[in-house]
Structures are given as structure tokens and as C-alpha cells.
Structure 1
Amino acid sequence: MEITPTIQAEIQTYLKRKGLTMTKFGHTIDLNVGTVSSIVTGNRSISVHQLDSITAGMNLPPDYFYERYIEECIEESPLNWKKISPFLYRCIELGRLDCLQRVVILLLDNPNYPPSLFEVAENVYKDGYNEAAAYLYKKVAESEKQQHSERLAICQYRLFQINIGQDRAVNLQAAIEFAPFVDRLDEIEQLDALKDLANVYRSLSMWDKVYEFSSQMGQLGQIQYNLVYNSKRKGTEPQKKPIRPFFTYIAYSGLMCASACDAKGDHEQALEHIHCYADLSWVKEKDSESLYWKKQYLQWAKINTYVNRLMSGDISVLPDYVEHMAAEKEIFAELLNVLEVANRYNVDVDHILRRFESQIVAYQEPSSSDTYTQQVLPEEYVRFWYKMAKYSLNKGRYLYGFKCLINAFEKAVTINHVLLIANCFGLFYHFKAHAAPKTQARFQTIYEEVWEKNDQKDGFLLSGN
């Protein structure tokens, strides 16, 4: 078996091979000769910063010595957080999660280190190192003895945030696992956590859950708002600040509860919730951010009142809705409603679609790291093209209709939305006789991809309801 030389031995070999003195090498890597000498002779513990300098000076990959560094400088020495902490950060920066895991396992044997590892996780999560952060959060959560601790709840919240993506099955599991920990968070962080949960369940069309978490958010938001703005309770204000002004959580609760009621067909109850955020005269914040959001919610209340009436069958408001929509930068949620009304009540909206033809042609699925955007907008994208396909096919525009339907079908498969997959497939078969052979072949290919995906998961495919 080949014996791997120590870091010290390999440096000595390099200096001899290159004919370098310690002084010259020290100048090259910007370390004084005493430090280099102590490292080479084994009389000095080496830091990861010094190791990186030496490695660079030897023209080696930056993580070349990392496994030996763990063996020689961490495993064989008393644990020293000041030395270990910089090494962990460098392992994360360089993608050496294997090295990170080896050291973390050592540290978790000591109950003093989980809080420090939690701090590392929080820092690297903020910097976007999600894979490393997720590993650290899991290990800290596993080591947490106090099951009701806030640190455990934050670990679960971060894991929920990291796991959220476009796979609906993964998102549902993440929400189920995180939900029991929400009330263990700080009250301020609870507001955003409840908002995120409501958004995920909205993307899953699980409207009872949307209503549940949105209602909780509104109640908690009202309590926190009163603590801040009730003059009789000065000094009890929360120390933390939410991501957005307090009143927006109350308003968003009304908006989401209204959405849930509308989706379940209870348009009367939905309208009551819309009225809750249509009147924001009670809002006391006057800063620019609050004024911006106040204007936004008043705008949304007006347009959602139109939507509520449209979905109830009052087509008379459609012209006003379209004019209001035309002033918006983002129009596709509104166009989706127009197509829904057209299909539901057999209304001709060709003139509206022609008006926004350039935007429709350019419509691409948005991408973002924001939880709402990741969850809600991909489904909105599928629904838009599905409803456009349905409208076009019913009008006899088969070439364009099938083009829209293929677009919707492919994306529905990507986000694993079984209800939309079924709707796309059903719509295709309803009009199959009008599909060109090439279109039929494409649908068959997509169908086989769905079957293979379903078969590989032992028959499991997440329901959209």
C-alpha cells in the first residue's frame, strides 16, 4: 500500500526539487521565513490561510492538502474552533463538502459546537451555499436536545426554504415537515414563515391549508401591529423588524384568504376578505416603502373585485377590468382570468387578445429565487397556455391551439402537476382528430415521459388537489 507523505514532507520535497530556500519561498508566498521554517520543521501548527498560501506557491489545486490537513492538524490535535472555523468556510467555498462533513462529525461529539455550526450555516446560507447550509442545518437539528428551541425551528425553516423548488412532491413534503415548527420561531420570523407556507400550499391548490396559514398570519400580524402602534403599550414593541411593513402581512392575509375562497367557489366570502384590504385607512406607517405597498394593495383590491365579479358571472365588468389591466406592467395573471371567463362563459375575447398580442408572443416563464415566484408563477405559466389552448381549439384554431397545449403539457410535466397534466392530456384527446401527425407524435413522446416518470416512482404522482 502506498504511503501518502505528510504535508510537511511534501513541502520539503518541493523545496529541494525546486532548489528553493525557505527565505525565497517565504517571499514568494508572502510569509516570513520564521513561519515557513516552523511549518517545514513541524514546530508550528499551520492555519488554513497559511496552507492555502503554500499550496498556491507550489502551483497545486487550492484543496490539494485538505484531506491530509484534517488528518494531521484537526483529528490528531485538540479541537480548536479558531483554527477549524476558517477551514470549514474554505471547504464550503471550494465545494469540498466531503471535508466539511468529516470535520462536522468530529465537532458534533462535543455539545459546545452545534451553536457555532449553526452560526456557520446561517452565514453560508446568506451567501448562497445552499447545499452546505442544508447539511449543517440538518446536523444541528439532529443534535438539538431541546425540541422546542428556536434554533431547531430556524434550522427547519431554512431547510424548508432551501428545499422549495419546482417539484411539487418535494415542496409538499417540505411544507409538511416544517409546519409543526412554525410557532417555535420568533414571532416576527413567524410572519414570513406563514407567508411562505401559504404560498407553497397555494401553488399546490390546497386551499384549506392556504386559508389556515393565511388566517394565522393575519392574526399574528394584527397582534404585532398593535404592539408597535398602540401607545398604551410602549416598550413592548418587538425588537426584530419584518422583511416588509407590518400592515402588509395583515393585507396579504386578506388577499390570500380571498384567493382561497374564490378558488373554492365561495365568491361572497372572498369579497368580504377583499374588503378587508381594500380599506387601509387604519395604516399608520408613512415611510416610502409603506406608501408603496399601501398603493399596491389598494390597486390589487380594486382589480380583484373585478375578478370576483367576473368569476361570479358578471361579464359586464370585463371592459373595465381590461382597461385597468392595461395600466399594469405584469398582465398575465389578469389575462389568465380573461381566458378563464372566456372558457367558462363562452365569451369572445379575441379583441382583448389582439390588444395584448405582442406581450403574449413574448411571454416567457419568469425565474427567481423568491419563494412566491418559484411556486406560483410556474403554475400560472402552465395554466395560461392551457387555457389559451382550450380557447383556441374551441375556436377551431388548431395549429396555434396545439402549439399552446404542447407548451403547457411540457411544463406541467416539469413541475409534476398531475391535475394540469391530466387536463392537457384530456384536452388533446378531445381534439385529437384535428391534430397533425407531427403533433400527435409529440404528444405521444411527452406521454411516454410521464409514464416513465410515474413508473419509476412506483406509481406515485402528486395530486393537485
Structure 2
Amino acid sequence: MEITPTIQAEIQTYLKRKGLTMTKFGHTIDLNVGTVSSIVTGNRSISVHQLDSITAGMNLPPDYFYERYIEECIEESPLNWKKISPFLYRCIELGRLDCLQRVVILLLDNPNYLPSLFEVAEKVYKDGYNEAAAYLYKKVAESEKQQHSERLAVCQYRLFQINIGQDRAVNLQAAIEFAPFVDRLDEIEQLDALKDLANVYRSLSMWDKVYEFAHQMGQLGQIQYNLVHNSKRKEAEPRKKLSRPLFVYIVYAELLCANACDAKGDHEQALEHIRGYADLSWVKEKDPDTLYWKRQYQQWAKINTYVNRLMSGDVSVLPDYVEYMAGEKEIFAELLNVIEAANRYNVDVDYILQRFESQIASYQEMPSTDLYTQQFLPLQHARFWYKMAKYSLNKGRYPYGFKCLIDALEKAGTINHVLLIANCAGIFLQFKAHAAPETQAQFQSIYEEVWARNDKKDGFNLSNS
């Protein structure tokens, strides 16, 4: 069995092979000769910064010595956080999660290191190292003795945020695991957590859950808003920063509740919630950010009143709705509402589709840039092309209808939406006789691929499609 030389021995061998003095090598790597001499002779503990300088000077990969560093400088020495923490950050930066894990396991033997590991997790999460952050949050959560601690709740919230993406099964599991911890968060952070939970359940079309978490967010937001504007109360500590002005959580709760009621067919109750964010005269702030959001919600209240009436079967609002759409840059949601109403109430909307033909074509692809769009827009895209397919096929426009249907099937497969996949198959069978042989073969091939891929994930039937 070959014996691996120590870091010290390998540096010595390198200097001899290259004919370098410690002074010359020290100048090359910007370390003084005394430091180099102490490291080479073993009289000085080496920091990860010094190790990186030496490794670079030897023209070796930056993590070349990391496993030996753990063995020689961490495992065989008393634990020293000032020495270990920079090494952890470097392991994360270089993607050496195996080294990170070895050191973390050592540290977890002492519960005093939990707060420090949590701080590392928070920093690297903000820096975008999600895989490393997830590992750290998980280990801290597992080691947390106080099950009602805020730190444990934050770990669970971060794991929830990291896990959310386009896969509906993963999103559902993440929401189920996090929900019991939400009320253990700081009350300010609870607002964003409740918003995120409601949005996930909205993307899953689980409307009772949407209503539950949105209602909870609205109540908590109202309590916090009243506290802020209670002149007898002085804030003793600085407040955590919210992602939106405080009043927005109250009105967004009304918007989500309206959305849930509309989806369940309770349009009268939905209209009550729309009125809840139409009148914002109670909002006390006057800053530019507040004024921007007030205008947004008042505009949304106006347009969502049209939507509410349209989904109730009042198609007389279509002309006003279309004129509103004409003045907007982004009309994807509005087009989805139009095509849904057309299918539901057998309304001819050809003139609307022709008017916005260029916008419809541009919606073949849409980038998912944030947590909300990753969850919600892929589902809306799949639903849009499914409903466009249904409308076009019922109109006898078979080539275009089948093209839309194939787009819907592919998008439904990407997000693991089993019910929508099944609906695509159902409408295809209904109109199969009108499909060209090559279209039939293409649909069958994509369907088999999508079903095989998602069957392994044990998909689930959620949503109204």
C-alpha cells in the first residue's frame, strides 16, 4: 500500500526538485521566508490561505491538499473555529462538499458550533451556494435540540426555499415538510414564509391551502401594521426587512383569497376579496414604493373585477377587457382568461386571438427567473396551450390545434403534472381521426417519453386544467 506523503514532505520534495530556496519560493507566493520556513519544518500551523498560496506556487489544483489538510491540521489538532471557518468557505467555493462534510461531522460533536455553522449556511445561501447551504441547514436542523427554536424554523424555511422549483411533486413535499415550522419564525419573517407557502399551493392548484395560508398572512400583516402605526408603541429593536412594504402582505392576501374563491367557482365571495384590495384609503404611507404598489393593486382590482364577471359567464365585459389588454405590454394571464372563458361558455374569440397573434407566438417560451415564476408560470403555460388546443380543435383547425396540444403535453411533462398529461391524451383521442399520421406518431412518442419520465417520480393529480 502506497503511503501518501504529508503536506510538509511534499513541499520539501518540490523545493528540492525545483532547486528553490525558501526565500525564493516565499517571494514567488508572497509569503515571508520565516512563514515558509516554519511551515516546511513543521513548527507552524498552516492556514488555508497560506495553503492555497503554496498550492498555487506549486502549480497544483487549488484543492490538491485539502483531504490531507483535514487529516493533518484539523482532525489531529484541537478544533479551532478561526482556522476552520475559512477552510469551510474555500471548500464550498471550490465545490469540495466531501471535505465540507468531513469537517462538519467533526464540529457537530460539540453543540457549541451550531450557531457558527448556521451563520456559514446563511452566508453561503445568500451567495448562491445552494447545495452546500442545504447540507448545512439540514445538519444544523438535525442537531438542534430545541424543537421550537427560531433557528430550526429558519433552517426549515431555507430548505423549503432551496427545494422549490418546477417539479410539482418536489414542491408539494417541500411545502408539507415546512408548514409545521412557519409559526416558529420571527413574526416579520413569517409574512414572507406564508406568502411563499401560499404561492406554492397556488402553483399546485390546492385552493383550500392557498386560502388558509393567505388568510393567515393577511391577519398577521394587519396585526403588524397596526403595531407599527400605534403611536404609543416604540420599537425597541430594528425590524427585519420585508421583501415588500408591509401593507402589501395584507392586500396580497386578499388577492390570493379572491383567486382561490374564483378557482373554486365561488365568484361572489371572490368579488368580496377583490373589494378588499380595491379600496386602499387606509394605507398611511406616502413614499414612492407604497404609491407604486397602491396603483398596482388598484389596477389589478379593476381588471380582476372584469375577470370575475367573465368567469361567472358575463361575456359582455369582453370588449372592455380586450381594450385593457391592448394597453398592456404583458398580457399572458389575460389571454389565458379569454381562452378559458371561450371554452367554458362556447364563445367565439377569434377576433381577439387574431388581434394579439404576435404576443401569443412569443409565449412559446418564457424564462423562469425567480421563485414565483419557477412555480407558477410553467403551469400556466401548459394550461394555456392545452386550452388553445381545445379551442382550435373544436373550431376544426386541426394542424394548429395539434401543435398546441403537443406543446401543452411537453410542458405538462416538464412540471410532472399528471392530470394535465392525461387531459392532453384524452383530447388527442377525441380528435385523433383528424391528425395526420406523422402528427399521431409525434404525439405518441412524446406521450410515452413524458409518461415514462414522470411515472418514475410517482406523480400526482392536482389542479384544475
The TM-score bracket by the shorter chain reads over 0.9
Q: CA contact under 8 A between 2:271 and 2:305: conserved in structure 1?
A: yes
Provide the rounded CA distance (Å) in 2 between the counterparts of 1:232 and 1:208.
Answer: 38
* Structure-2 residue corresponding to 1:218: 218
The answer for the alignment partner of 2:33 in structure 1 is 33
Q: Which runs of no fewer than 5 residues in structure 2 stay unpaired? A: none
What is the aligned partner in structure 1 of residue 256 from structure 2?
256
Q: 1:353, CA displacement in angstroms?
A: 1.0
Comparing 323-332 with 147-156, greater Cα deviation is found at: 323-332
Taking the aligned partners of 1:33 and 1:143, their CA distance within structure 2 comes to 43
Contact 1:254 1:273 in 2 (8 A): yes
Segment of structure 1 superposing worse, 288-297 or 70-79:
288-297
Q: 1:148 to 1:217 in 2, by over 3 A?
A: same
Decide which moves more: 143-152 or 384-393: 384-393
Deviation at 1:236, TM superposition (A): 6.7
Q: CA offset at residue 295 of structure 1?
A: 0.7
| Partner residue, 2:100 | 100
3-state SS of paired residue (2:111) = coil
SS at match of 2:281: coil
Residues 390-425 of structure 1: per-residue CA shift (max 9 Å, x gap): 111111111111111101100101100112111111
Ranges in structure 1 where 5+ consecutive residues have no aligned partner: none
Secondary structure of the equivalent of 1:64? coil
Residue 80 of structure 1: CA displacement? 0.3
Q: Distance in 1 between matches of 2:285 and 2:236?
A: 18
Report the TM-score, using the length of structure 1 for normalisation: 0.98
Q: Name 1:115's counterpart in structure 2.
A: 115
Q: d(CA) in 1 for partners of 2:171 and 2:217?
A: 20
User: CA 1:236–1:295 in 2, change beyond 3 Å: closer, same or farther?
Assistant: farther
Deviations 1:300-358 (A, max 9, x none): 10110000000001011101011112222210000000001111111111111111111
Q: Distance in 1 between matches of 2:328 and 2:284?
A: 27
Opposite residue 461 of structure 1, the aligned amino acid is: G
Task: Please tell me the residue identity of whatever aligns with 1:314.
Answer: D
Q: How many residues align?
A: 463
| 1:83 alignment partner in structure 2 | 83
The 5-angstrom pairing of residues 15-94 of structure 1 reads 15-94=15-94
Contact 2:153 2:185 survives alignment (8 Å): yes
Would the aligned equivalents of 1:365 and 1:377 in 2 still touch at CA under 8 Å? no
Give CA-to-partner distance per residue, 1:130-183, whole Å, 9 cap, x none: 000000000000010000000000000000000001110110000000000000
Is the 8 Å Cα contact of residues 416 and 454 (structure 2) preserved in structure 1? no
Alignment of structure 1 residues 411-430 onto 2, 5 Å: 411-430=411-430
Q: Secondary structure at the match of 2:419?
A: helix
Deviations 1:39-71 (A, max 9, x none): 000000000000000000000000000000000
Amino acid at match of 2:255: L
CA distance in 2, matches of 1:238, 1:430: 62
| Alpha-carbon RMSD | 1.2
- 1:241: Cα distance to partner? 2.8
Pairing 1:299-448 to 2, within 5 Å after superposition: 299-448=299-448
Q: What secondary structure, in the 3-state scheme, does the structure 2 residue paired with 1:372 have?
A: helix
What is residue 460 of structure 2 aligned with on the other side? 462
In the other structure, the counterpart of 1:136 is 136
| Mapped contact 2:56–2:62 kept (Cα < 8 A) | yes
- Deviation of the 1:26 alpha carbon: 0.4
The superposition leaves residues 223-248 of structure 1 with CA deviations (integer Å, 9 ceiling, x where unpaired) of 00001112233447872231110110
Q: Could you tell me the TM-score, scaled by structure 2's length?
A: 0.98
Separation in 1, partners of 2:101, 2:329: 47
User: Which position in structure 2 is the counterpart of 1:172?
Assistant: 172
- For the Cα contact (< 8 Å) 1:251–1:276, is it kept in 2? yes
Tell me the CA shift for residue 435 of structure 1.
0.7
Structure 1 residues 454 and 383: CA distance shift in structure 2, 3 A: closer
Using the TM superposition, name which of 366-375 and 165-174 deviates more.
366-375
- Is the CA contact (8 Å cut-off) linking 1:134 and 1:162 kept in structure 2? yes
Q: Which amino acid letter does the alignment assign opposite residue 4 of structure 1?
A: T
The one-letter code matched in structure 1 to 2:449 is: E
CA distance in 2, matches of 1:234, 1:451: 59
Q: Distance in 1 between matches of 2:341 and 2:434?
A: 25
Identity of aligned residues (%): 86
CA shift, 1:454, in A, is: 4.8
Offset of residue 443 of structure 1: 1.4
